[in-house]
Amino acid sequence: MERINLPEINLKERLQQARLSFDSELAEVLRGRHDLNHAQVKKKFGVSEKVIRRVLKQFNIGARKGGAKPKGALEPGSMRKHKREANTPKRG
C-alpha cells in the first residue's frame, strides 16, 4: 500500500481562525443592524448571550466614548485654587 502524505493540520489554530471569522461576521451584524435586539441576534445566529457579549467586548462595539466624570469633580483649574485656599493660614 502506498502511504498518503497529508500536510499537518494545527487544529487549535484552525479553530481560532474559524471562531475569529464567525465573530467578525457577528460583529458586522451588531454594528450594522441596530434594529435587531440581542434576542433576535441570538435566534438568527443560534448563539448565546455570552457569545454576543464576548464579541461586543472583542470588537469594542457599543463602548462609551468617554467615561463619566468622577463624583465631586471640579472644573479644570478650580481644584488648584481650592487646594491653595485650604493650605493658606486663616487670618484674624
Model pLDDT, residue 1: 77
Q: Which residue has the higher pLDDT, 20 or 72?
A: 20
Model pLDDT, residue 64: 45
Residue 84 in any domain: the answer is no
Residue 22 in any domain: the answer is yes
In contact, 29 and 41? CB cutoff 8 Å: yes
pLDDT in tens, 6-62: 888 899 999 999 999 999 999 999 998 888 888 898 998 899 999 999 999 999 987
Q: pTM above 0.85?
A: no
Contacts 24+ apart (CB under 8 A), 16-24: 23/54, 23/55, 23/58, 23/59, 24/59
Residue 35 in any domain: the answer is yes
In contact, 32 and 62? CB cutoff 8 Å: no
Domain count, the chain: 1
Average of per-residue pLDDT across 56-77 = 66
Residue 40 in any domain: the answer is yes
Helix (H), strand (E) counts: the chain: 4, 0
Structural domain boundaries, residue 24: 10-62
